[in-house]
Structure 1
């Protein structure tokens, strides 16, 4: 990695480290520590998610017109203010407003960071760059959660002020690091406008006409809905109600997921980058189908409690293996599909799809996982197999360079782009 890429990766990891201090405890903090109740905690979490859905549709165009650096700086400062304010919030209105600021800031960071990684990489190095980011972010989240667990005290609101203050400082550290980054491309408004003489009135229209990107967004929604959208809602409810899993075992399962990601990320990287991206995503669908079968055995089988516990933990571990395969696959594919001057808009559109899936996933999976155990497993088993089908169909729309850039000896040209994408875009 060059100096610019190293700084981006370090800043990204440190911000994830800060987020890890507060994410596991947000519900407990609002509902119990501040004694605002479960309904208020639900509203606060909804405000966090809704703020992301509001800002992401406009984020991409701003990134493409003004560059990712000022957008990332503004997002980091906004998130820092939101985190610090949330730590001192002792009423419902202040908690909701603070959570909205925090949610908006953290949501905008992701496409801004992704665009910076794209600008500082080439199609040949992009796979490893995104794999490194995913690895460091998960490592940062895990370590932050571990440290946060040692500091937190449910009977002491001051301990939560410390947690949110650390998170705010990490966002400021991210801003301080990335401001020193010298990007290899200076954006201009003209860069965001296609030059084929038939420019659409908006970037959204251009994106919606790009069938491969639309298919990738549909696939992305199913990916996040069937996996990430179930981790802390449907799957955990299913584990407790159907498989008799304890709260401590849920923590072990999540730790197993993170451990597999950390251990497997670079072990699978050579395997992944030498194969077609569509085939890798299709394989992830099959792996997750096996994960849901293991979950089905845990809750619906007639084995011992020890076997059910082992099967349930295996479910999370298999999800982690799939995530390790996706991280160097999906994000670089979004970048390689983007025409020149629209990388930010494509990254933001995909981030929006992810947020929608994370919002809908718990709403659908939570009640099913708690009460409809058999239908829950069957539904998400079918969704996982659907991932495989959608990935195979997507592969038919990708150029050989988009589907397998490792084998390319020349730069990737985005499908539908009017001219070759510059190496630094």
Structure 2
């Protein structure tokens, strides 16, 4: 990695480290420590999603017009103010307002960071760059959560203020690091691009068939995995499989451990395969994961077997995530016209937020009460991932499907021996 990329990755990891301090404890903080009740805590989580949905449609155009650095600086400052405000808040209004700032800031940071990675990489190196970002972010979240767990004390609100202050400081560190990055001009992105539409913006994006198909695929991916982690799958595990709440933490730890351990092993596999085939394989892996989850809750094995099956489900999800990180985000960048990288990244981030908002709303009640239909539904969604991925592959160029092979197979010039030329 060049110096610019190293700094971008370091800032991204540190911001994830800060988020890890507070994300696992936000509900407890609002509902119990500040004694604002479960309803307010639920509203705060909803405000995070709503704030992200409100700002993402505008952030992409700002990134393309102003560049990713100014947008990221504003987002980091807003997120820092929101985090500090959460630590100091004692009323419903201030908690909700702080959550809106924090949700908007963190939502905008992701497409801005993704655009910075695109600007500082070529199509071949981009795969490894996004894999490294995913690896470091998961590592940062995990380490932050572990340290935060040692510092937090429900009987002392001041301990939560410390956590939110550390989170705010990490966002400001990210801003400071970004200020030192010398960004190159946006490089020409190789591969086929949609023709520029007279309307530009959203109209051009919606006219790009491959990108629209990728967004549909992305919604199904996030809905069937991330949208279920802390809602439907957790409810299903505790209600149907009899999983202890503490085991949910072990399952999430197993998910993170698989990502951290497998990421760069998986990367070698991914680089030698077509991206659409990799995503299709993830759909099959997640199908197996949901079948195992079905055994955990609907089978007739012992509690030990059910617990092991449930933890294995999260581990298989982690394997799929490790395969997606060097695949989906670089594909979004390779599909984007040079002048619309920020808008494409923001559009895909918006799709993710929609899936994360709809996923718990649908999966939560089903996982808690409709155990059989819940498993069948998400087995079908996982198979749908495989179908949509193979369909998307028909829209991609060789360079978009497998940049490393396309780069090495290009013929720049053909040398004709002198004797052959003379004979002609």
Asked whether the two chains share a fold, i.e. TM above 0.5, the reply is: yes
- 1:409 CA displacement: 2.1
Of 398, 409, 416 in structure 1, the residue corresponding to residue 407 of structure 2 is 409
- Counterpart position of 1:214: 212
For residues 175 and 249 of structure 1, the distance between their equivalents in structure 2, rounded to whole angstroms, comes to 37
Distance across 1 between alignment mates of 2:194 and 2:250: 54
Task: List aligned pairs for 1:48-67, cutoff 5 A.
Answer: 48-67=48-67
Structure 2 match to 1:421: none
Paired with 1:257 and 1:411, the residues of 2 have a C-alpha distance of 37
What are structure 1's unaligned runs of at least 5 residues?
413-425
Residue number among 342, 345, 348 corresponding to 1:347 in the alignment: 345
Who is 1:418 aligned against? none
Tell me, yes or no, if structure 1 residue 96 matches structure 2 residue 96.
Answer: yes
The reply to whether residue 202 of structure 1 matches residue 196 of structure 2 is no
- TM-score, L = length of structure 2: 0.94
CA RMSD of aligned residues (A): 1.6
Cα pair 1:86 1:94 within 8 Å, conserved: yes
CA distance in 1, matches of 2:355, 2:375: 18
SS at match of 2:93: helix
Q: What TM-score do you get using the length of structure 1 for normalisation?
A: 0.94
Separation of aligned partners in 1, 2:122 and 2:267: 17
Change (3 A) 1:343 1:184: same
Distance 1:173 1:198, change over 3 A: closer
Is the 8 Å Cα contact of residues 265 and 325 (structure 1) preserved in structure 2?
yes
How many angstroms apart in 1 are the aligned matches of 2:83 and 2:254? Answer: 28
Relative to structure 1, the CA distance from residue 34 to residue 342 in structure 2 (aligned partners, 3 Å threshold; closer, same or farther) is same
Higher gyration radius (CA): 2
User: What residue in structure 2 maps to residue 400 of structure 1?
Assistant: 398
Q: Tell me if structure 2 keeps the 8 A contact 1:153–1:159.
A: yes
Which whole-Å CA distance do the structure 2 matches of 1:104 and 1:143 have between them?
Answer: 24
Q: 1:121 to 1:337 in 2, by over 3 A?
A: same
Cα distance, 1:411 vs structure 2 = 11
* SS of residue in 2 equivalent to 1:245: coil
Question: How far is 1:406 from its partner?
Answer: 1.2
Tell me by how many angstroms 1:198 deviates: 6.0
Question: Relative to 1, partners in 2 of residues 1:286 and 1:243: Cα closer, same or farther, differing over 3 Å?
Answer: same
Counterpart position of 2:167: 167
Residue 417 of structure 1 corresponds to: none
Report if the CA contact (8 A) 1:123-1:411 is conserved: no
1:200 is displaced (CA, Å) by 2.4
Q: After superposition, where does 1:111-260 map in structure 2 within 5 Å? A: 111-185=111-185, 199-260=197-258
Q: Please give the alpha-carbon distance, in whole angstroms, between the structure 2 residues aligned to 1:344 and 1:159.
A: 38
CA distance in 2, matches of 1:5, 1:368: 43
Aligned to 1:22, what secondary structure does the other structure show?
A: helix
Change (3 A) 1:9 1:186: same
Distance 2:303 2:86 in 1: 40
In the aligned structure 2, how far is the partner of 1:89 from the partner of 1:406? 50
How many residues of Structure 1 are paired with residues of Structure 2 in the alignment?
406
Deviation at 1:274, TM superposition (A): 1.1
Deviation at 1:269, TM superposition (A): 0.4
Distance 1:378 1:339, change over 3 A: same
Cα-to-partner distance string for 1:21-71 (whole Å, 9 max, x where unaligned):
000000010000000000011111111110000000001000000000000
CA distance in 1, matches of 2:81, 2:235: 33
Q: Helix, strand or coil: the match of 1:31?
A: helix
